[in-house]
Structure 1
Amino acid sequence: MEIRLDGKKALVTASTGGIGYAIAKGLAASGAQVILNGRSAQSIEKAKNTLKTELPNASITAVAADLSTAQGCDDLLASVSGVDILVNNAGIYGPADFYETDDDTWQNYWQTNVMSGVRLAKALTPDMQDSGWGRVVFISSESARNIPADMIHYGVTKTAQLSLARGLAKRLAGSGITVNSVLPGPTISDGFSSMVEEEVQRTGKSIEQVAKEFVMANRPSSVIQRAASVEEVANMVVYVCSQQASATSGAALRVDGGVVDDIV
Protein backbone atom coordinates (compact mmCIF):
# COMPACT_ATOMS: atom_id res chain seq x y z
CA MET A 1 0.00 0.00 0.00
CA GLU A 2 1.40 3.36 -1.04
CA ILE A 3 -0.13 6.33 0.74
CA ARG A 4 0.02 9.58 -1.20
CA LEU A 5 -1.38 12.88 0.01
CA ASP A 6 -0.18 15.11 -2.81
CA GLY A 7 -2.25 18.29 -3.08
CA LYS A 8 -3.55 18.01 0.49
CA LYS A 9 -2.77 20.55 3.19
CA ALA A 10 -2.36 19.29 6.76
CA LEU A 11 -2.31 21.20 10.04
CA VAL A 12 -0.73 19.30 12.92
CA THR A 13 -1.01 21.09 16.25
CA ALA A 14 1.80 20.87 18.82
CA SER A 15 4.12 19.46 16.17
CA THR A 16 7.53 20.78 17.16
CA GLY A 17 8.53 17.50 18.80
CA GLY A 18 7.44 14.06 19.90
CA ILE A 19 4.37 12.42 18.41
CA GLY A 20 3.26 15.64 16.70
CA TYR A 21 6.55 16.06 14.87
CA ALA A 22 6.53 12.40 13.81
CA ILE A 23 3.00 12.83 12.42
CA ALA A 24 3.98 15.98 10.54
CA LYS A 25 7.00 14.20 9.10
CA GLY A 26 4.92 11.19 8.04
CA LEU A 27 2.33 13.38 6.31
CA ALA A 28 5.03 15.44 4.59
CA ALA A 29 6.78 12.27 3.41
CA SER A 30 3.47 11.25 1.82
CA GLY A 31 3.33 14.49 -0.16
CA ALA A 32 1.09 16.67 1.99
CA GLN A 33 1.80 20.34 2.55
CA VAL A 34 2.29 20.56 6.30
CA ILE A 35 1.65 23.41 8.72
CA LEU A 36 3.64 23.02 11.92
CA ASN A 37 2.43 24.58 15.15
CA GLY A 38 4.03 25.27 18.51
CA ARG A 39 3.86 27.86 21.24
CA SER A 40 7.00 29.82 20.35
CA ALA A 41 8.53 31.14 17.14
CA GLN A 42 11.85 29.64 18.17
CA SER A 43 10.46 26.11 18.58
CA ILE A 44 8.57 26.10 15.30
CA GLU A 45 11.49 27.48 13.31
CA LYS A 46 13.77 24.82 14.78
CA ALA A 47 11.27 22.09 13.91
CA LYS A 48 10.73 23.51 10.43
CA ASN A 49 14.46 23.62 9.72
CA THR A 50 14.95 20.07 11.01
CA LEU A 51 12.09 18.76 8.90
CA LYS A 52 13.36 20.54 5.80
CA THR A 53 16.76 18.93 6.39
CA GLU A 54 15.17 15.48 6.65
CA LEU A 55 12.76 16.05 3.75
CA PRO A 56 14.30 18.69 1.46
CA ASN A 57 11.44 18.61 -1.04
CA ALA A 58 8.67 18.93 1.52
CA SER A 59 6.37 21.95 1.64
CA ILE A 60 6.48 23.17 5.24
CA THR A 61 5.13 26.29 6.92
CA ALA A 62 4.94 27.07 10.62
CA VAL A 63 2.68 29.14 12.85
CA ALA A 64 3.33 29.99 16.50
CA ALA A 65 0.18 29.99 18.66
CA ASP A 66 -0.74 28.90 22.18
CA LEU A 67 -3.87 26.80 21.74
CA SER A 68 -4.78 26.77 25.43
CA THR A 69 -6.80 29.95 24.83
CA ALA A 70 -9.48 31.03 22.40
CA GLN A 71 -7.25 33.91 21.31
CA GLY A 72 -4.42 31.51 20.53
CA CYS A 73 -6.71 29.41 18.37
CA ASP A 74 -7.89 32.55 16.58
CA ASP A 75 -4.27 33.56 15.97
CA LEU A 76 -3.56 30.20 14.37
CA LEU A 77 -6.73 30.25 12.27
CA ALA A 78 -5.89 33.74 11.00
CA SER A 79 -2.72 32.33 9.45
CA VAL A 80 -4.07 29.18 7.76
CA SER A 81 -6.52 28.42 5.00
CA GLY A 82 -7.52 25.54 2.77
CA VAL A 83 -6.77 22.87 5.37
CA ASP A 84 -7.76 19.36 4.25
CA ILE A 85 -6.33 17.45 7.22
CA LEU A 86 -6.56 18.56 10.85
CA VAL A 87 -4.62 16.60 13.45
CA ASN A 88 -5.48 17.80 16.95
CA ASN A 89 -2.37 16.80 18.84
CA ALA A 90 -2.10 19.73 21.26
CA GLY A 91 -2.32 18.52 24.82
CA ILE A 92 -0.82 18.60 28.28
CA TYR A 93 -0.46 15.91 30.93
CA GLY A 94 1.00 15.36 34.36
CA PRO A 95 0.23 13.51 37.58
CA ALA A 96 -1.72 15.24 40.34
CA ASP A 97 -3.87 13.78 43.09
CA PHE A 98 -7.60 14.31 42.61
CA TYR A 99 -7.94 16.12 45.94
CA GLU A 100 -5.06 18.46 45.14
CA THR A 101 -6.18 19.36 41.61
CA ASP A 102 -7.71 22.82 41.72
CA ASP A 103 -10.27 24.37 39.38
CA ASP A 104 -7.65 26.31 37.45
CA THR A 105 -5.80 23.08 36.63
CA TRP A 106 -9.00 21.40 35.47
CA GLN A 107 -9.79 24.44 33.34
CA ASN A 108 -6.31 24.53 31.80
CA TYR A 109 -6.51 20.86 30.85
CA TRP A 110 -10.01 21.26 29.45
CA GLN A 111 -9.14 24.31 27.36
CA THR A 112 -5.92 22.81 26.00
CA ASN A 113 -6.88 19.18 25.46
CA VAL A 114 -10.53 19.55 24.45
CA MET A 115 -11.52 23.07 23.48
CA SER A 116 -8.56 23.61 21.13
CA GLY A 117 -9.86 20.73 19.03
CA VAL A 118 -13.44 21.99 19.25
CA ARG A 119 -12.43 25.45 18.06
CA LEU A 120 -10.23 24.31 15.21
CA ALA A 121 -12.66 21.68 13.95
CA LYS A 122 -15.55 24.14 14.04
CA ALA A 123 -13.54 26.66 12.01
CA LEU A 124 -11.90 24.35 9.47
CA THR A 125 -14.47 21.67 8.64
CA PRO A 126 -16.88 23.94 6.70
CA ASP A 127 -14.32 24.34 3.90
CA MET A 128 -13.75 20.58 3.97
CA GLN A 129 -17.49 20.11 3.52
CA ASP A 130 -17.45 22.46 0.54
CA SER A 131 -14.69 20.43 -1.11
CA GLY A 132 -16.29 17.09 -0.24
CA TRP A 133 -13.14 15.70 1.40
CA GLY A 134 -11.44 16.05 4.74
CA ARG A 135 -9.77 14.30 7.64
CA VAL A 136 -9.97 15.22 11.32
CA VAL A 137 -7.97 13.25 13.88
CA PHE A 138 -7.90 13.68 17.64
CA ILE A 139 -4.82 12.33 19.40
CA SER A 140 -6.35 10.89 22.54
CA SER A 141 -4.72 8.27 24.79
CA GLU A 142 -5.25 4.83 26.27
CA SER A 143 -5.88 6.86 29.41
CA ALA A 144 -9.24 7.74 27.87
CA ARG A 145 -10.37 4.19 28.57
CA ASN A 146 -7.92 3.19 31.29
CA ILE A 147 -8.26 6.25 33.53
CA PRO A 148 -5.10 6.67 35.64
CA ALA A 149 -5.83 7.19 39.32
CA ASP A 150 -3.02 9.73 39.56
CA MET A 151 -4.16 11.74 36.50
CA ILE A 152 -7.96 11.75 36.64
CA HIS A 153 -8.08 15.30 35.25
CA TYR A 154 -6.06 14.16 32.22
CA GLY A 155 -8.06 10.99 31.66
CA VAL A 156 -11.33 12.91 31.69
CA THR A 157 -10.16 15.19 28.88
CA LYS A 158 -8.94 12.24 26.83
CA THR A 159 -12.31 10.49 27.22
CA ALA A 160 -14.02 13.71 26.17
CA GLN A 161 -12.01 13.66 22.94
CA LEU A 162 -13.47 10.26 22.07
CA SER A 163 -17.00 11.61 22.51
CA LEU A 164 -16.14 14.71 20.53
CA ALA A 165 -14.70 12.74 17.63
CA ARG A 166 -17.58 10.26 17.51
CA GLY A 167 -20.22 12.98 17.70
CA LEU A 168 -18.53 15.10 15.05
CA ALA A 169 -18.21 12.11 12.75
CA LYS A 170 -21.98 11.63 13.01
CA ARG A 171 -22.62 15.34 12.50
CA LEU A 172 -20.53 15.26 9.30
CA ALA A 173 -22.00 11.99 8.04
CA GLY A 174 -22.00 11.72 4.26
CA SER A 175 -19.85 14.81 3.79
CA GLY A 176 -16.68 13.05 2.66
CA ILE A 177 -14.98 14.03 5.93
CA THR A 178 -13.85 11.33 8.33
CA VAL A 179 -13.31 12.01 12.03
CA ASN A 180 -11.39 9.58 14.21
CA SER A 181 -9.46 9.31 17.44
CA VAL A 182 -6.06 7.67 17.78
CA LEU A 183 -5.14 6.36 21.22
CA PRO A 184 -1.42 5.99 21.90
CA GLY A 185 -0.22 4.06 24.92
CA PRO A 186 3.19 4.41 26.57
CA THR A 187 5.37 6.04 23.91
CA ILE A 188 8.99 7.13 23.86
CA SER A 189 8.23 10.78 23.20
CA ASP A 190 10.19 13.88 24.16
CA GLY A 191 8.17 14.16 27.35
CA PHE A 192 8.83 10.57 28.35
CA SER A 193 12.52 10.92 27.54
CA SER A 194 12.76 13.95 29.83
CA MET A 195 10.92 12.11 32.58
CA VAL A 196 13.36 9.18 32.62
CA GLU A 197 16.55 11.07 31.71
CA GLU A 198 17.91 10.90 35.25
CA GLU A 199 17.35 7.14 35.46
CA VAL A 200 19.01 6.57 32.07
CA GLN A 201 22.07 8.50 33.25
CA ARG A 202 22.12 6.85 36.66
CA THR A 203 21.77 3.26 35.45
CA GLY A 204 23.48 3.41 32.07
CA LYS A 205 20.51 1.61 30.55
CA SER A 206 19.15 2.55 27.15
CA ILE A 207 16.00 4.62 27.05
CA GLU A 208 14.26 1.67 25.35
CA GLN A 209 15.12 -0.60 28.28
CA VAL A 210 14.01 1.96 30.84
CA ALA A 211 10.78 2.45 28.88
CA LYS A 212 10.19 -1.31 28.79
CA GLU A 213 10.67 -1.56 32.54
CA PHE A 214 8.29 1.36 33.04
CA VAL A 215 5.64 -0.34 30.90
CA MET A 216 5.95 -3.67 32.71
CA ALA A 217 5.76 -1.95 36.11
CA ASN A 218 2.95 0.49 35.33
CA ARG A 219 1.07 -1.04 32.37
CA PRO A 220 1.56 -4.79 32.88
CA SER A 221 -1.39 -5.61 30.62
CA SER A 222 0.70 -4.47 27.62
CA VAL A 223 0.74 -7.14 24.93
CA ILE A 224 3.87 -5.89 23.16
CA GLN A 225 5.57 -5.44 26.59
CA ARG A 226 7.44 -2.31 25.57
CA ALA A 227 6.83 1.33 24.78
CA ALA A 228 5.94 2.34 21.24
CA SER A 229 8.00 4.72 19.16
CA VAL A 230 6.57 8.01 17.98
CA GLU A 231 6.89 6.71 14.42
CA GLU A 232 4.63 3.76 15.21
CA VAL A 233 1.93 6.14 16.42
CA ALA A 234 2.45 8.42 13.42
CA ASN A 235 2.02 5.48 11.03
CA MET A 236 -1.53 4.96 12.27
CA VAL A 237 -2.34 8.66 11.94
CA VAL A 238 -0.97 8.89 8.40
CA TYR A 239 -3.09 5.89 7.39
CA VAL A 240 -6.23 7.41 8.96
CA CYS A 241 -5.57 10.57 6.96
CA SER A 242 -5.23 8.69 3.68
CA GLN A 243 -7.70 7.99 0.91
CA GLN A 244 -7.31 4.31 1.74
CA ALA A 245 -8.97 4.92 5.14
CA SER A 246 -12.09 6.48 3.62
CA ALA A 247 -14.42 3.90 5.22
CA THR A 248 -13.08 4.49 8.74
CA SER A 249 -14.89 7.23 10.64
CA GLY A 250 -16.10 7.68 14.18
CA ALA A 251 -13.54 5.15 15.36
CA ALA A 252 -11.23 5.05 18.38
CA LEU A 253 -8.09 3.44 17.00
CA ARG A 254 -5.66 2.12 19.58
CA VAL A 255 -1.88 2.22 19.25
CA ASP A 256 -1.52 1.26 22.88
CA GLY A 257 0.37 -2.00 22.54
CA GLY A 258 -2.65 -3.85 23.89
CA VAL A 259 -2.66 -2.09 27.27
CA VAL A 260 -6.45 -1.75 27.30
CA ASP A 261 -7.55 -5.29 28.06
CA ASP A 262 -10.55 -5.90 25.83
CA ILE A 263 -11.26 -7.21 22.34
CA VAL A 264 -12.93 -4.16 20.75
Structure 2
Amino acid sequence: MDLELQGTRVLVTGSGAGIGKATAKAFLGEGASVIVNGLTQQEVDACVHDLGHYGDVSGLAADLTRTEDAERLFDFAAALGPVDILVNNVGVFSVKAFEELTDDEWLSYFNINVLSAVRMSRLILPEMLKRHTGAIVNLASEAAVKPLPQMVHYSVTKTAMLGLTRGMAELTKGTKVRVNSVLPGPTWTEGVQNYFEGLAAQKGEPIDEIVSNYFQNDEPTSLIQRFVEPEEVARMIAFVAASGAANGAGYRVEGGIIRSII
Protein backbone atom coordinates (compact mmCIF):
# COMPACT_ATOMS: atom_id res chain seq x y z
CA MET A 1 0.00 0.00 0.00
CA ASP A 2 1.28 3.45 -0.92
CA LEU A 3 0.71 5.70 2.09
CA GLU A 4 1.75 8.78 0.07
CA LEU A 5 4.61 9.61 2.42
CA GLN A 6 7.21 10.08 -0.31
CA GLY A 7 9.41 13.06 0.51
CA THR A 8 8.16 13.56 4.07
CA ARG A 9 10.58 13.94 6.99
CA VAL A 10 10.04 11.68 9.99
CA LEU A 11 11.68 11.80 13.43
CA VAL A 12 11.46 8.59 15.45
CA THR A 13 12.74 8.80 19.01
CA GLY A 14 14.23 5.79 20.75
CA SER A 15 14.81 4.14 17.39
CA GLY A 16 18.09 2.33 17.89
CA ALA A 17 16.31 -1.00 18.28
CA GLY A 18 12.93 -2.67 18.70
CA ILE A 19 9.71 -0.95 17.67
CA GLY A 20 11.50 2.34 17.00
CA LYS A 21 13.97 0.83 14.56
CA ALA A 22 11.23 -1.15 12.82
CA THR A 23 9.22 2.06 12.53
CA ALA A 24 12.13 3.93 10.98
CA LYS A 25 12.49 1.11 8.44
CA ALA A 26 8.76 1.20 7.65
CA PHE A 27 8.83 4.92 6.90
CA LEU A 28 11.94 4.52 4.77
CA GLY A 29 10.08 1.89 2.81
CA GLU A 30 7.38 4.49 2.12
CA GLY A 31 9.95 6.90 0.68
CA ALA A 32 10.27 9.17 3.70
CA SER A 33 13.51 10.65 5.03
CA VAL A 34 14.02 9.44 8.59
CA ILE A 35 15.91 10.79 11.60
CA VAL A 36 16.71 8.16 14.22
CA ASN A 37 17.67 8.67 17.84
CA GLY A 38 19.22 6.68 20.66
CA LEU A 39 21.07 7.19 23.92
CA THR A 40 24.57 6.71 22.47
CA GLN A 41 26.12 7.74 19.18
CA GLN A 42 27.40 4.18 18.76
CA GLU A 43 23.81 2.91 18.86
CA VAL A 44 22.67 5.62 16.44
CA ASP A 45 25.55 5.02 14.01
CA ALA A 46 24.81 1.27 13.99
CA CYS A 47 21.15 1.96 13.26
CA VAL A 48 21.99 4.38 10.44
CA HIS A 49 24.36 1.77 9.01
CA ASP A 50 21.73 -0.99 9.19
CA LEU A 51 18.99 1.12 7.60
CA GLY A 52 21.07 3.17 5.18
CA HIS A 53 20.38 0.99 2.15
CA TYR A 54 16.61 1.41 2.62
CA GLY A 55 16.69 5.17 2.06
CA ASP A 56 17.68 8.56 3.44
CA VAL A 57 18.42 8.12 7.15
CA SER A 58 20.43 10.19 9.61
CA GLY A 59 20.57 10.28 13.39
CA LEU A 60 21.70 11.88 16.61
CA ALA A 61 22.28 10.58 20.13
CA ALA A 62 20.21 12.41 22.73
CA ASP A 63 18.94 11.62 26.22
CA LEU A 64 15.37 12.90 26.07
CA THR A 65 15.05 12.95 29.85
CA ARG A 66 17.09 16.16 29.53
CA THR A 67 15.55 19.30 28.05
CA GLU A 68 18.84 20.40 26.53
CA ASP A 69 19.21 17.10 24.70
CA ALA A 70 15.66 17.33 23.36
CA GLU A 71 16.49 20.81 22.07
CA ARG A 72 19.67 19.48 20.42
CA LEU A 73 17.69 16.77 18.65
CA PHE A 74 15.11 19.31 17.52
CA ASP A 75 17.83 21.61 16.18
CA PHE A 76 19.47 18.70 14.36
CA ALA A 77 16.17 17.77 12.71
CA ALA A 78 15.21 21.39 11.94
CA ALA A 79 18.52 21.95 10.16
CA LEU A 80 17.42 19.30 7.65
CA GLY A 81 13.98 20.86 7.20
CA PRO A 82 10.53 20.78 8.83
CA VAL A 83 9.54 17.60 10.66
CA ASP A 84 6.36 16.27 9.04
CA ILE A 85 5.88 13.30 11.37
CA LEU A 86 7.09 12.85 14.96
CA VAL A 87 6.94 9.40 16.54
CA ASN A 88 7.40 9.57 20.31
CA ASN A 89 8.65 6.05 20.95
CA VAL A 90 11.06 6.44 23.90
CA GLY A 91 10.03 4.23 26.79
CA VAL A 92 11.20 1.65 29.33
CA PHE A 93 9.53 -1.08 31.36
CA SER A 94 10.32 -3.32 34.28
CA VAL A 95 8.55 -5.82 36.47
CA LYS A 96 8.50 -4.73 40.10
CA ALA A 97 6.15 -4.99 43.06
CA PHE A 98 4.07 -1.84 43.58
CA GLU A 99 5.02 -1.54 47.26
CA GLU A 100 8.74 -1.65 46.41
CA LEU A 101 8.69 1.31 44.00
CA THR A 102 10.25 4.46 45.43
CA ASP A 103 9.29 8.03 44.63
CA ASP A 104 12.48 8.41 42.63
CA GLU A 105 11.62 5.37 40.53
CA TRP A 106 8.13 6.72 39.85
CA LEU A 107 9.58 10.07 38.80
CA SER A 108 12.17 8.36 36.60
CA TYR A 109 9.46 6.42 34.74
CA PHE A 110 7.41 9.56 34.18
CA ASN A 111 10.48 11.42 33.00
CA ILE A 112 11.40 8.74 30.46
CA ASN A 113 7.99 7.49 29.33
CA VAL A 114 5.93 10.68 29.40
CA LEU A 115 8.06 13.80 29.61
CA SER A 116 10.32 12.71 26.73
CA ALA A 117 7.22 12.95 24.51
CA VAL A 118 6.20 16.24 26.12
CA ARG A 119 9.62 17.75 25.45
CA MET A 120 9.74 16.79 21.78
CA SER A 121 6.10 17.67 21.12
CA ARG A 122 6.49 21.03 22.85
CA LEU A 123 9.20 21.86 20.32
CA ILE A 124 7.66 20.37 17.19
CA LEU A 125 3.87 20.76 17.58
CA PRO A 126 3.92 24.60 17.41
CA GLU A 127 5.91 24.40 14.16
CA MET A 128 3.36 21.99 12.72
CA LEU A 129 0.51 24.26 13.77
CA LYS A 130 2.16 27.21 12.04
CA ARG A 131 2.34 25.17 8.83
CA HIS A 132 -1.15 23.73 9.41
CA THR A 133 0.13 20.25 8.65
CA GLY A 134 1.91 17.39 10.38
CA ALA A 135 1.34 14.29 12.48
CA ILE A 136 2.46 13.10 15.90
CA VAL A 137 2.14 9.47 17.00
CA ASN A 138 2.68 8.64 20.67
CA LEU A 139 3.47 5.08 21.73
CA ALA A 140 1.20 3.92 24.50
CA SER A 141 0.42 0.27 25.36
CA GLU A 142 -2.41 -2.12 26.02
CA ALA A 143 -1.35 -1.63 29.65
CA ALA A 144 -2.71 1.92 29.39
CA VAL A 145 -6.23 0.45 29.21
CA LYS A 146 -5.66 -2.82 31.07
CA PRO A 147 -3.15 -1.94 33.82
CA LEU A 148 -0.76 -4.72 34.75
CA PRO A 149 -0.40 -5.52 38.48
CA GLN A 150 3.26 -6.44 38.03
CA MET A 151 3.93 -3.15 36.20
CA VAL A 152 1.64 -0.56 37.80
CA HIS A 153 4.24 2.16 37.27
CA TYR A 154 4.60 1.40 33.57
CA SER A 155 0.84 1.13 33.10
CA VAL A 156 0.20 4.52 34.69
CA THR A 157 2.72 6.25 32.43
CA LYS A 158 1.10 4.72 29.36
CA THR A 159 -2.34 5.85 30.51
CA ALA A 160 -0.84 9.32 30.81
CA MET A 161 0.25 9.07 27.17
CA LEU A 162 -3.39 8.63 26.13
CA GLY A 163 -4.33 11.82 28.00
CA LEU A 164 -1.39 13.68 26.51
CA THR A 165 -2.40 12.53 23.03
CA ARG A 166 -6.00 13.68 23.27
CA GLY A 167 -5.02 16.94 24.94
CA MET A 168 -2.55 17.83 22.19
CA ALA A 169 -5.06 16.77 19.53
CA GLU A 170 -7.52 19.32 20.90
CA LEU A 171 -4.97 22.02 20.04
CA THR A 172 -5.07 21.06 16.36
CA LYS A 173 -8.71 21.86 15.62
CA GLY A 174 -9.19 23.48 12.23
CA THR A 175 -5.74 22.47 10.96
CA LYS A 176 -4.36 19.43 9.16
CA VAL A 177 -2.19 18.56 12.16
CA ARG A 178 -3.08 15.30 13.85
CA VAL A 179 -2.04 13.64 17.13
CA ASN A 180 -2.77 9.98 17.80
CA SER A 181 -1.50 7.11 19.89
CA VAL A 182 -0.75 3.49 19.07
CA LEU A 183 -1.22 0.78 21.70
CA PRO A 184 1.00 -2.25 21.10
CA GLY A 185 0.50 -5.43 23.04
CA PRO A 186 3.41 -7.54 24.33
CA THR A 187 5.99 -7.19 21.55
CA TRP A 188 9.04 -9.37 20.98
CA THR A 189 11.71 -6.67 21.17
CA GLU A 190 15.29 -7.05 22.33
CA GLY A 191 14.28 -5.78 25.77
CA VAL A 192 11.51 -8.36 26.12
CA GLN A 193 13.81 -11.12 24.92
CA ASN A 194 16.41 -10.12 27.52
CA TYR A 195 13.73 -10.16 30.24
CA PHE A 196 12.58 -13.67 29.34
CA GLU A 197 16.15 -14.95 29.08
CA GLY A 198 16.79 -13.63 32.58
CA LEU A 199 13.56 -15.19 33.85
CA ALA A 200 14.49 -18.54 32.28
CA ALA A 201 17.90 -18.45 33.95
CA GLN A 202 16.32 -17.52 37.28
CA LYS A 203 13.80 -20.35 37.13
CA GLY A 204 16.15 -22.84 35.52
CA GLU A 205 13.59 -23.57 32.81
CA PRO A 206 13.92 -23.49 29.00
CA ILE A 207 13.06 -20.07 27.59
CA ASP A 208 10.88 -21.66 24.90
CA GLU A 209 8.72 -23.27 27.57
CA ILE A 210 8.34 -20.03 29.53
CA VAL A 211 7.44 -18.06 26.41
CA SER A 212 4.96 -20.67 25.20
CA ASN A 213 3.20 -20.64 28.60
CA TYR A 214 3.21 -16.87 28.95
CA PHE A 215 -0.04 -16.14 27.12
CA GLN A 216 -1.89 -19.07 28.66
CA ASN A 217 -0.87 -18.06 32.18
CA ASP A 218 -0.39 -14.27 32.04
CA GLU A 219 -2.36 -12.98 29.05
CA PRO A 220 -5.23 -15.46 28.55
CA THR A 221 -7.44 -12.85 26.83
CA SER A 222 -5.00 -12.52 23.93
CA LEU A 223 -6.74 -13.67 20.76
CA ILE A 224 -3.56 -14.25 18.77
CA GLN A 225 -1.80 -16.04 21.67
CA ARG A 226 1.65 -14.87 20.61
CA PHE A 227 3.93 -11.87 20.85
CA VAL A 228 3.38 -9.02 18.42
CA GLU A 229 6.30 -8.45 16.05
CA PRO A 230 7.89 -4.96 15.96
CA GLU A 231 7.20 -4.75 12.23
CA GLU A 232 3.47 -5.19 12.89
CA VAL A 233 3.46 -2.23 15.24
CA ALA A 234 5.56 -0.21 12.80
CA ARG A 235 3.05 -0.70 10.00
CA MET A 236 0.24 0.55 12.24
CA ILE A 237 2.28 3.63 13.21
CA ALA A 238 2.95 4.51 9.58
CA PHE A 239 -0.70 3.95 8.63
CA VAL A 240 -1.99 6.16 11.46
CA ALA A 241 0.56 8.88 10.70
CA ALA A 242 -0.56 8.93 7.06
CA SER A 243 -4.32 8.90 7.66
CA GLY A 244 -5.71 12.42 7.25
CA ALA A 245 -8.91 11.70 9.18
CA ALA A 246 -7.25 10.06 12.20
CA ASN A 247 -6.98 12.52 15.08
CA GLY A 248 -7.16 12.33 18.86
CA ALA A 249 -7.56 8.56 19.01
CA GLY A 250 -5.78 5.43 20.16
CA TYR A 251 -5.15 2.59 17.73
CA ARG A 252 -4.76 -0.91 19.13
CA VAL A 253 -2.32 -3.48 17.80
CA GLU A 254 -2.34 -5.74 20.85
CA GLY A 255 -3.68 -9.02 19.57
CA GLY A 256 -7.09 -8.66 21.19
CA ILE A 257 -5.86 -8.69 24.81
CA ILE A 258 -8.23 -5.81 25.66
CA ARG A 259 -11.70 -7.34 25.85
CA SER A 260 -13.60 -4.48 24.26
CA ILE A 261 -15.48 -3.89 21.01
CA ILE A 262 -13.91 -0.43 20.55
Q: TM-score, normalised by structure 1?
A: 0.92
User: Offset at 1:211?
Assistant: 3.8
Q: Number of residues paired by the alignment?
A: 256
Superposed CA offset, 1:122-145 (max 9, x none): 111122122221110000000101
Q: Secondary structure at the match of 1:63?
A: strand
1:203 and 2:201 matched: no
Q: Does 1:61 align with 2:66?
A: no
Aligned partners of 1:185 and 1:257 also within 8 Å: yes
Structure 1 counterpart of 2:258, from 257, 260, 263: 260
**Equivalent pair of 2:140/2:181 in contact (CA under 8 Å):** yes
In the TM superposition, residue 210 of structure 1 has moved relative to its aligned partner by: 5.3
Task: Name 1:134's counterpart in structure 2.
Answer: 134
Deviation, 1:193, is: 1.4
Shift of 1:204: 7.4
Q: CA deviation at 1:202?
A: 5.9
The alpha-carbon deviation at position 27 of structure 1 amounts to: 0.5
Distance between the aligned counterparts of 2:211 and 2:118, measured in 1? 33
Q: What amino acid is aligned across from residue 170 of structure 2 in structure 1?
A: K
User: 1:221-236 residue pairs with structure 2 within 5 A?
Assistant: 221-236=221-236
- SS of the residue corresponding to residue 92 of structure 1 reads coil
Partner of 1:106: 106
Say if 1:252 and 1:204 are closer, same or farther in 2 by CA, change over 3 A: closer
Instruction: Specify the alignment match of 1:237 in structure 2.
Output: 237
In structure 2, give the amino acid aligned to 1:80: A
Q: Answer whether contact 2:12 2:88 (CA < 8 A) is retained.
A: yes
The CA deviation string for residues 155-209 of structure 1, in whole angstroms up to 9 with x for no partner, is 111000000001111111121011101000011111111122364996374xxx7
Structure 2: give runs of 5+ residues left out of the alignment.
Answer: none
Question: Aligned-pair distance for 1:78?
Answer: 2.5
User: How many angstroms apart in 2 are the aligned matches of 1:68 and 1:259?
Assistant: 31
Question: Secondary structure of the equivalent of 2:245?
Answer: coil
| Between 227-236 and 119-128, the greater mean CA deviation after superposition | 119-128
TM-score by length of 2: 0.93
Unaligned runs of 5+ in 1: none
* CA 254–204 in structure 1, closer or farther in 2 if over 3 Å, else same: closer
Most deviating of 124-133 and 152-161:
124-133
38-47 vs 129-138, which moves further: 129-138
Structure 1 stretches of 4+ with a deviation exceeding 6 A read: none
CA distance in 1, matches of 2:23, 2:76: 21
Question: C-alpha separation between the residues in 1 aligned to 2:207 and 2:256?
Answer: 28
Q: Secondary structure, in 3 states, of the residue corresponding to 1:161?
A: helix
SS at match of 2:138: strand
Which aligned pairs between 1:77-96 and structure 2 lie closer than 5 A? 77-81=74-78, 82-96=82-96
Alpha-carbon separation, structure 2, partners of 1:8 and 1:248:
18
CA distance in 1, matches of 2:151, 2:172: 32
From the superposition, tell whether residues 225 and 169 of structure 1 become closer, same or farther in structure 2 (CA, over 3 Å).
same
Distance in 2 of aligned mates of 1:93 and 1:30: 30
Q: Distance in 2 between matches of 1:260 and 1:30?
A: 30
CA RMSD of aligned residues (A): 1.7
CA contact (8 A) 1:188 1:229 kept: yes
Give the match's secondary structure for 2:112. Answer: helix
| Cα distance in 2 for residues equivalent to 1:233 and 1:165 | 18
| Paired residues of 2:5 and 2:31 also in contact (CA < 8 A) | yes
SS of the residue 1:220 aligns to: coil
